[in-house]
Structure 1
């Protein structure tokens, strides 16, 4: 009997050596704050606290009357710039071309009349019926009439041409600027209605419908399953066993079967340092922060919940 009692501590010590150590810790969540870049009144809150939402699910909508008006304004400015560019590329309107053509016909008729008068005056000059000055006048009139015909011909040719290359490039730049402004207005309008970036738990809603939301102020806080992690502290003697990727077992009150996890991060700095140079006797007081990731489908663990982490 005495021999059995003496062997009992040794058996317990042997069992203790094979039992993986457990480290106290807690669950932490990395929340995603969803906000709109523009200020506005909250017109519709599509989720409630504690609700599970799918990816791309509607979260909230801000008033968008002003953003919609700005978008329509830029849309009209783009249409005007495109129309002006098309007009410059096509030359003058058909009605303007017809006016120039009519002026050219009249100028050609005047040039023929002036040429005929010059011929008559030349005959009369040779017969001595008129003075040299009168012939010179008719000759100058004929030259001017012919020059007017050539001028109108060139003007008509130019009227059929598109705008100059520099003008076309400048107007094309105006079209691109108007298109970029419209794209920006579209983006601003889309930002008034926010959606969930991923499937997540609605942790909290920070505004109520009808309240004014400043620009960049979060309206909904989400907690995706992949953003739940476990934080625990280990002594420096256990650091060699906790390299990133090491499998862990997380236990909690009422969890039943341990939850599988793995080491994701090991802090390079100790959480506690004595005020003086620590000696060998003080080294056991040093602890290091370790973070472990959980499978995304794990829903049993909640932020703030105390856990015990063991090696696997």
Structure 2
């Protein structure tokens, strides 16, 4: 019986559409839950003086986690406070003038100089009259004039000294002392930061996953003491076959389900740019099916994933 050309064409079209129909179906994959832990460590070394949390406990942001012995650091801070107070006192002393008693002594010296000046003026007048009437020599008149100029200079000197006594130190001395005060404040801030670093607090709401040290043990600098898992650091991990890679974009929703837990939804937050498994052959149509790409998905900020790291999950990737 002769073949039907129209039927053969329809069959060929259906066979061509089979791959597209397969890609149009939702893809179900096996995945697991992974956690990004926050490992809190002191910046300095020391003996662990106290641990404020227990494994499995939930802590809020700002809650104390642990503390190293801070005897030496507190002494350094106390010294920094004393140095700052001394520098500030010296700066205040430079900005103000002399004490009232010192100003009074200068005023009294000026009064004496004014009295001497008045006497010199009167003496010069008498000597001038006597010299014009030839009752005194010119030498005596010159001496009287010199005494008057001397007393006037003395009064001017004491007036300038009194004005200077009302002022503070020279501007360059004040500037140098202000710089020293700034340095001492930085040293105090550094000492405060050092104390805070030896008694860290929780950076966010989290679950205490692990406590690595016990009270009395020596903790090296930078060595984690407590490991935290914030809810937002829980993510789904699954591996997407290469033929479906182009159908998933960042921000796409994927469904998930697990044993004895309610089904939920997460958003794709990461797609690997390199395949996790590369066959030792040149890429061909047959070998591309073996390539998988790591994909991560997270819950919303207001609704993080309520899953445990290591927990297996079934992931459903909707078709586009």
Same fold (TM > 0.5) = yes
- Choose which of 81, 102, 123 in structure 2 pairs with 1:96: 102
Confirm or deny: 8 A CA contact 2:55 2:210 kept in the other structure: yes
Rounded Cα–Cα distance in structure 1 between residues aligned with 2:199 and 2:184: 24
Confirm or deny: 8 A CA contact 2:242 2:291 kept in the other structure: yes
Rounded Cα–Cα distance in structure 2 between residues aligned with 1:131 and 1:140: 15
Confirm or deny: 8 A CA contact 1:255 1:300 kept in the other structure: no
Is 1:277 matched with 2:282? Answer: yes
Confirm or deny: 8 A CA contact 1:27 1:305 kept in the other structure: yes
Gaps of 5+ in 1: 1-15
What is residue 312 of structure 2 aligned with on the other side? 306
Give 1:44-83 correspondences, 5 Å limit. 44-83=50-89
The Cα shift of 1:123 comes to 4.8
Rounded Cα–Cα distance in structure 2 between residues aligned with 1:298 and 1:145: 91
Q: Secondary structure at the match of 2:44?
A: coil
Q: Secondary structure at the match of 2:245?
A: helix
What is residue 47 of structure 2 aligned with on the other side? 41
Which stretch of the first structure deviates more once superposed, 148-157 or 132-141? 132-141
Number of equivalences: 296
Give 1:281-292 correspondences, 5 Å limit. 281-292=286-297
Rounded Cα–Cα distance in structure 2 between residues aligned with 1:235 and 1:75: 64
Is 1:238 matched with 2:244? Answer: yes
Give 1:73-222 correspondences, 5 Å limit. 73-126=79-132, 131-222=137-228
Superposed CA RMSD in Å reads 2.8
Which stretch of the first structure deviates more once superposed, 134-143 or 56-65? 134-143
Please give the TM-score of this superposition, normalised by the length of structure 1: 0.82
Q: Secondary structure at the match of 1:56?
A: coil
What is residue 267 of structure 1 aligned with on the other side? 272
Rounded Cα–Cα distance in structure 2 between residues aligned with 1:106 and 1:217: 76
